[in-house]
A = this chain, B = another copy of it.
């Protein structure tokens, strides 16, 4: 009666089955698809499990069934408020499903992303959510070998790996710049930090909108690869002013920069919007509370996360959404900081 191996000491399904007077496989079915049991057995298994305090062993389940109920999520930053909204949507949606989330941080590096995708491979996730559309070729090929539904989020573009939920950063920036132009501003600066691909596309939107108005001037673009902070917004704005003192408005790639510009204006006694209009991007909550309130581009980040999870889970269950690419759009929130030039 030698026992070769130390048992975990936890209650196993077999023990629940024995107490309930059913076979292990019936008990197993109870936990996965209770409707398959007759009401009497269902009852018996339920009470046996409760009595013994049974907790299923997920590793054994995953090994036997060859699948997991994990959705892997790759995002570039944990600090950026933008992603915390997306994450909230993702976690909220996952709680309503039987899936759990495995989160990893790429730190804005597509090589790190590639490495993390390989790590995910070992977990055999049931689905995957990745940020952006600029994966390496290697990443793409790893994703393809994973044979699971994949949603790319934050932006939309051609050639989805599988599904996409996002919006056009180009269009959003174009719209914001067009608004400033419509308000009568001619010399419009552009401030950018953390120049990830989405920010690059916003810059392109700015560029094209300015060119369309024959007002493009490369000297009014100030960017840095450094991560965004409010303080940095002030610094970049100072740079911009020293280069082109005649700017009348600035569009910032995010709201932190915009707030930094507002503070810098206050410090220099530049009145907003009379002497300087400001527009941000993302519409964080503080934009409406600022004095003056700050114009921004609102995007539905929470919904983006929520929808990504629900599209992925639907696809896992075989209900692939008819349209794999969802454009969630954006909304320009016009506020005091960009009100019309009164000449």
Interface residues of A (CB under 8 A from B): 6, 8, 55-60, 62-63, 66, 68, 78-79, 81, 84-85, 87-88, 91, 100-105, 118-119, 121-124, 229-231, 233-234, 256, 259-260, 263, 266-267, 285-286, 288-291
Contacts and interface: CB of A to CB of B under 8 A. Distances in A.
A130 B123 CA distance: 24
B84 A78 contact: yes
Interface centre among A6, A58, A260, A266 (most CB of B within 10 A): A58
Closest 6 A/B residue pairs (Cβ): A59-B62, A230-B286, A266-B291, A230-B289, A59-B63, A231-B289
A285 B122 contact: no
B88 A78 contact: yes
Contact of A6 (B63, B66, B259, B290): B66
B79 A88 contact: yes
Contacts of A267: 291
* Identical subunits present: 2
Given A88-B79, A267-B291, A286-B230, A60 B63 contact: yes
B234 A289 contact: yes
A234 B101 CA distance: 36
A210 to B, nearest CB: 28
A291 B101 CA distance: 40
Given A57-B63, A79-B85, 7 more contacts: A56-B122, A58-B123, A63-B63, A78-B84, A100-B102, A259-B286, A259-B289
A285 B231 contact: yes
Interface centre among A81, A88, A124, A289 (most CB of B within 10 A): A289
A290 B290 CA distance: 11
Given A101-B103, A259-B286, A289-B260, A55 B91 contact: no
18 contacts: A55-B118, A58-B122, A58-B124, A60-B63, A63-B63, A78-B91, A81-B81, A100-B102, A100-B119, A102-B102, A229-B286, A230-B286, A230-B289, A233-B289, A259-B289, A260-B289, A263-B289, A263-B290
A79 B88 CA distance: 7
A6 B65 CA distance: 10
A61 to B, nearest CB: 8
B256 A286 contact: yes
Nearest to A95: B105
A288 B81 contact: no
Contacts of A88: 78-79, 105
B121 A55 contact: yes
Nearest to A58: B122
